[in-house]
Amino acid sequence: MSRLKDYYEVLGVKEDSSSTEIKKAYRKLAREYHPDHNQDQPHSEERFKEIQEAYEAIGDPKKRKRYDSVRKRPFEGAFGDMFTTNADGQFYRAPDATFVRGSPQGAQGTPFDDSVFGGLGDLFDSFFGEVSVSQPPESKQKYDRKRTVRVSFKRMLKGGKIEIKLDEGVISIPFPKGVRDGYRVRIKGKGAGRPDGRRGDLYVTIRIIEHHAFRRDDLNLHTEISVSAIEAMIGVHRSIRGPYGKKLKLLIPSGIQPREILRIRGHGIDSGEKKGDLFVHVSVTIPTDLTDGQRRTLEEAAKVAGLL
């Protein structure tokens, strides 16, 4: 078993950093190492994947708590938490090596489905590296294959096909535009060969690479824009780039307050059946380098407006 990865070190943040600080560090690194901006740097893609992996582990408060627990006590409380749920009771290993809910006597309960928890194998792999879990020879799951593929934000918007390389060749798997993170596809008969001549199944999970400028919420998207204090007071027309590359006109109304949100309908994610909206979060910046002339002009305007 390999050493536990230090995702705080990967993102260059401290263990007690706030979620905002972690997100800020992630976005800075994601922009710096994004493959689209480093096509002449062959190692940037691996670094970018490592940054993505780290943010997936500690960017979400719940996942971060679980990661910290495993990191500090890898064989104590963390593993117990993984197999316990307040709603469904305790998970137990059944004789067929699957996990079931309920009491040990009720071992015929619903088998553990790793899609509910995102895959214990994936969790252990990202924390510790390669880990093998023993399965009895008769276990059907032994002959299933699992693959995780990363899809860029741009490809997610358009939809398309994923090529999976297997020992016996390459298969192409279509995915819809606007596909969600964690989308899981099952391809029957594309797993490993079984002694009886049949084959297991192939499970492909799609992970969406987070965009540096857009945050997804269902089919809606959120982005940020900064305006000066003067622009916020008098109002201004601005042009921003939408997720599909189109320039969108945006009216910043006079008197807008910091953290107000403007909505551009129909310019979120287009799933083919429905379109989300684009929400623009406005921040107001205060200049710190006014010249004497600019300061006098503002003071005169303030006096005319009765503010001084």
What rounded mean pLDDT belongs to the chain? Answer: 78
CB-CB neighbours of 302 under 10 Å: 11
3-state secondary structure of 190: coil
Which residue is associated with the tokens 């949100």? 261
Distance from C-alpha of 284 to C-alpha of 238, rounded to nearest angstrom: 14
Identity of the residue numbered 14? K
Mean pLDDT to the nearest integer, 85-96: 41
Tell me the angle at which helices 44-58 and 120-128 cross, rounded to the nearest 10 degrees: 120
Would the pLDDT of 123 be above 70? no
Mean pLDDT to the nearest integer, 94-115: 40
pLDDT band at 142 (very low <50, low <70, confident <90, very high): confident
Give tens-digit pLDDT for 227-283: 998 899 889 999 999 999 999 999 999 999 998 999 999 999 999 889 999 999 999
Pick the CATH number of 215-304 from 3.40.350.10, 2.60.260.20, 3.30.70.250, 3.20.20.80: 2.60.260.20
Angle at 186 between CA 207 and CA 5, to 5 degrees: 35
Would the pLDDT of 13 be above 60? yes
Distance from C-alpha of 258 to C-alpha of 281, rounded to nearest angstrom: 9
Q: Are strands 202-208 and 145-151 parallel, antiparallel or unpaired?
A: parallel
Single pTM value for the model:
0.52
Tell me the angle at which helices 44-58 and 19-33 cross, rounded to the nearest 10 degrees: 160
Which residue is associated with the tokens 């553990």? 112
Q: What are phi and psi of 8, to 5 degrees?
A: -65, -40
Which residues of 45-201 form beta strands (DSSP E)?
84-85, 89-93, 99-101, 145-151, 160-166, 169-175, 183-187
Tell me which residue of 153, 277, 258 sits closest to 213, measured CA to CA: 153
Put residue 91 in one of left, alpha, beta given phi > 0 → left and psi -120 to 50 → alpha: beta
Q: What percent of the chain has pLDDT over 90?
A: 37
Query: Which positions ≥6 away from 106 have C-beta within 8 Å?
Result: 100
Distance from C-alpha of 244 to C-alpha of 265, rounded to nearest angstrom: 14
Give tens-digit pLDDT for 42-81: 677 788 888 888 998 899 898 998 888 887 765 544 444 4
Distance from C-alpha of 142 to C-alpha of 153, rounded to nearest angstrom: 33
Distance from C-alpha of 308 to C-alpha of 298, rounded to nearest angstrom: 10
Mean pLDDT to the nearest integer, 122-150: 60
pLDDT band at 40 (very low <50, low <70, confident <90, very high): low
Bridge partners, 199 (sequence order): 193
Identity of the residue numbered 206? I
> Does the domain at residues 135-211 carry the CATH identifier 3.20.20.70?
no
Within the chain, all domains assigned CATH 2.60.260.20 are found at: 135-211, 215-304
Which string of b and e fits 76-96 if b means at least 16 CB within 10 Å? eebeeebeeeeeeeebbebee
